[in-house]
Amino acid sequence: MLLTSVAALFFSIASVIAQQPQQTTANSNGLTPVAKQYADSFKNVGGKVLSDQVNVYAIFYGDWKSSSADQNILLNFVDRVSGTAWYNTCKYYYSALNVVLPNLYDQVKEYTGNDGKTVGSLHLAAALTDSGSHGLNLSDNGIHKQIVIDAVNSGYLSADNQLDSNGIYIIFAASNVNDSGFCSKNCGYNSYSDQFQYMYIGHPGVCAQSCIPSLNNATSPNNNPAVDAMITIFSHELQDILTDPRNNAWIVRSGQTEIELGDFCSGSGVTQEQWFGNVQQDNGGHYNLAIGDSKYLVQTIYSREKKACVLSKN
């Protein structure tokens, strides 16, 4: 997401700023404000994407004991989303070559830096519940990082207690968890250390006006607006962490601002159609992605080829 600062030496924050899409669909097929300004300079600046099999480790932090159905909604999405046309759009983003080749742009369709490694498919590797080992009032991102490390050391996420450098660790916060940056600065963010990538997603029910899309504020596809909003937030952060896991791959830097893939189809001045594409309605809830019998509202993905926010490459 749009960055204004680097938080610490070993990780940078990519935050979902709490903004709602404009309801108008005027000029919805045109470029978003971010795309107008940065699309031409968006390229891989030298780093690698998360490729091959990308293991996902879910940490449900806080009081989830009465919310097994909510956990299943989130885990089912993570486990099945890789097979969708929406997810496959991310696979058009490649790792960078170690050498620079002339005219490479023309050789690899629309994307520079193709070493044959594209974004890999997600694999739900493990999940656990942590009722609050570091308390329920989280004050900084270092605590999020320590929650991940402690979860791995517990043996429940990894049989050998080893961190997965090509994996993604997700902290899903329960409604009883307070975080200093949540609601006021972000609805979720992704970051990294020298050993792993992770993301933190707060519970949108804590600040529904900011972190639940207005389309699903009252009713949502899975009859749980807060959990459905977690999926929407995840769909943004996933784009960033897959294509720019270490802040050195698909990114644009402009002064103190850093632009990643998810920023092109979200934020101020983006219309509802640009943000979510073709939205349908079912039992009062709005969705744009169906996986089997389940329905979800995800953020569109920017296509450099089509110069548009899309739900698939077709």
171 strand-pairing partners:
59, 200
Average pLDDT over residues 117-122: 91
If pLDDT is split at 50, 70 and 90, which confidence band does 313 have?
confident
| pLDDT number for residue 102 | 41
CA–CA dist 60, 157 (Å, integer): 12
pTM of the complete model beyond 0.85: yes
- The mean pLDDT value of the chain amounts to 86
C-alpha distances (whole Å) from 15 to each of 169, 241, 258, 277 are: 16, 11, 11, 22
Mean pLDDT of 116-132: 93
Nearest-5° Cα angle at 23, 20 to 28? 105
> CA 37, CA 31: separation in Å to the nearest integer?
9
Can you tell me which residue has the tokens 């998810």?
A: 262
pLDDT band per the 50, 70, 90 thresholds, residue 159: confident
